[in-house]
Each structure stands twice: as structure tokens, then as C-alpha cells.
Amino acid sequence: MNSNPSADRAALLQADRMRAGRLSLLVGCLIFAAKFLAYWLTGSAAVFADAMESTINIVSAGMLVFALAVAARPPDKSHPYGHGKVEFLSAGIEGAAIAFAALVILAQGVRELIAGPELHRLDLGLAVLAAAAIANAGLGLHLSRVGRRTQSDALSADGRHVLADVWTSVGVIGGLIVVGLTGWAWADPLIAIAVAFHVAWEGYRVLHDSLGGLMDESEHAHIAKVTAALEGARESSWIDLHGLRGWRSGARRHIDFHLTVPRYFDVSQIHVIHDRIESVLVGGDEHGGDVVVHFDPCDDSECAQCEMKVCPIRDCTFRAAKRFTPERAVRPDSELDRPD
């Protein structure tokens, strides 16, 4: 029995996602333990701040594995567009958890600032923290790379968070080196407070992106890619398009738009055009996708831009076709009669 190359490719990508998710959970636990060891050794509020961010990595990695497993389920009667939006939900929970961690870090920094810092064994603690940062950097780069390759928003969000955690560790290490050289221990809680604001910003970015995905926010790059594909495969009967909308549910793409065609075309001709467009836009995509084309009949005002060489109803001669561009593609019905 012949295998389906697209299905096989999809299975391989899903396996890559799951391996990356499990690796994130395992490494996250190890790094969390290492950072709290560094905190126990040093008593540093800044190291505590870094360790607190790693607790969020563990929660996020657990959510990530769950989201990837759910997102891989195919569309069904209850979820005709698939289950991919759970990845946006996972990223949103991660963003909210990051924001909560920022509040805990800020509270610890302020407490240490008021009570007065007590630091010890900075050399050994910094060595442990540096090793954890290097491991985190490798994990973050791997998650980001796999997220891009498999088009997983949850993996990409987790990779961004892990890399942000690396920069947090670098800042903490640099600050504590300064403390060790100068003896100015008050820098420690100030570093923790700075880390809190940095973590809060990263949480806001992750939460903002996830909400955009949950609310089907339009992606300009996606619209531009679809428009370019349609222009490249354009046939003489594809007179104009508008109302293009595109969104993703995880890695699965959904596209719909209005296409103007000769008004004398019959159903069989329309069906052939739809199959052709579907093949151009999602054919061979291992993630799958949906394409809905609303066919609009042409009118006499569009004869000058219609490239049909033989047309029984042409009202005027052809002058020039109007290219399919993102700006034209997204026009609503209300703008169709406006001059270009």
C-alpha cells in the first residue's frame, strides 16, 4: 500500500515538536534545580529572581507538551477548523505566568532592599548560574529553530521565553560580579527589581501575541504570501480579487476570499478554478489547510482589465490587468467602486 507523503511528513514534524516539548520540560527542571542551588549558596535576591523565572519555564513546558498533543488532532465534527488554537492558549497562559513571576520577583527585590541584602559564596553560586545559563541558551535556540521549522507557535513562544531567561541570567551574573568587585551589596536587590521589569515586558509580549492568534488577528506576511501565490498562478479568467482573509489554527492555515470571474461560467468551470486555487495555496502542505473561494460574476466595468481573449459579452477592449497585491486583496466590498 502506498503511503501518503504529506501525512508522513506531518507525522515526522509532530514527532519533532513532541521531542522538543519533552526536552524543554526535562531541561527546565534541571535548570530550575541548578538556579535554586545558586540561590541557596549566595542568598542573592537577583539569583532568586532568575530562579523564579525558571519555575515558569517548567509550568510552560508542561503546558507546551499538552498543547502540542492536542493541536495534532485532526479536524472533527466538533472542531471543523482543527485544534491548533490550543497552542495560542498555551502561549497565553505562559504569558500570564511570566507576568505573575515578575510580581513575585519585584516583591522579593523590594523586601531585600528594605531589610538589607546578605550575600555569601558568590564565586561558587555564579559558577552554577553560568552553567545553567549556557544550558538554557542551547535549549532556547533549539526550541526556536524547531518552532520555526514546524510552524509551532507554542514552541516559538517557549523558545523566546527561554532565551529571555538567558539574558536575565547574564544580567544577574554581570551585576553580581560588580557586587563582588566593589562590595556594594545594595546592587543585588536593585538588579532583582530590574529583572522583574524585564520579565514583565517579556510576559506582555507573549500574552499579546497569543491573544492576537486567539482573536484571528490578520498576519501581513501570510496575506502577502497568499497574494503572491495567486498572482504567480493567475489565469485569464481570474479577473480580480478582494476580501482576502487568512489566519492560522496552530500550523493549519485557513484562507478565504472573493474572486471575480466571467459571469457566463458554469458550475463545472467554477469547480475547476476552485480546485486549482486550493492546489496552489495548500496543496502538498503537510499541516493541511482550508481554502474557501467566493465567486463573484464580472460586470461591464471590468472588461478593460479582463484578459479573456474570447469573450461573448465583452463591452470594451482590454487595456491592462490589475496585479493581485495585498492592498487590493484585502479590500472590503465597500471599497470596490472607488477609483484606484
How many CB atoms sit inside 10 A of residue 206's CB?
A: 26
- Along the 340 residues of the chain, how does pLDDT read in single tens digits? 445 555 666 677 778 888 888 888 899 899 989 998 988 888 888 888 888 777 777 877 787 777 777 766 766 777 666 666 676 777 677 777 777 878 877 887 787 778 776 777 888 888 999 999 999 999 999 988 988 887 776 677 778 778 878 877 887 888 788 888 887 777 778 887 887 887 788 777 777 776 666 655 556 777 888 999 999 999 999 999 999 987 766 556 788 899 999 999 999 999 999 999 999 988 766 566 789 999 999 998 889 999 998 899 988 888 888 999 999 999 987 777 544 4
pLDDT for the residue numbered 297: 94
- Distance (Å, whole) CA 23 – CA 31: 12
CA distance 71 to 14: 9
- What is the residue whose three cell numbers read 522579593? 108
Cell 500500500: give the residue. 1
**pLDDT score at 71:** 66
Q: What is the pLDDT of residue 288?
A: 64
H/E element, 291: strand 289-297
Residue 340, pLDDT score: 46
Start-to-end CA distance of the chain, whole Å, equals 54
Say what the pTM is: 0.56
**Helix and strand counts by DSSP (H, E) for the chain:** 9, 3
Count of CB atoms situated within 10 Å of the CB of 221: 9
Q: HSE, CB side, 13 Å, CA atoms: give it for residue 139.
A: 31
**Under CATH, what is the fold of the domain 220-335?**
Alpha-Beta Plaits (3.30.70)
Order the strands of the 240-249 sheet from edge to edge: 240-249, 252-261, 289-297
User: Using CA atoms, how far apart are residues 252 and 82, in angstroms rounded to an integer?
Assistant: 8
Q: What is the pLDDT of residue 271?
A: 95
Domain 5-214 has CATH 1.20.1510.10: yes
pLDDT for res 104? 78
Which of helix, strand or coil describes residue 165?
Answer: helix
The CA distance from 169 to 10, in Å, is 36
pLDDT given for residue 261 in this prediction: 95
Q: Which helix (H) or strand (E) holds 248?
A: strand 240-249
Check residue 112 and give its pLDDT.
76
Strand residues in 2-46 grouped as ranges (E): none
Tell me the domain boundaries of the chain.
5-214, 220-335
Same fold, 5-214 and 220-335: no
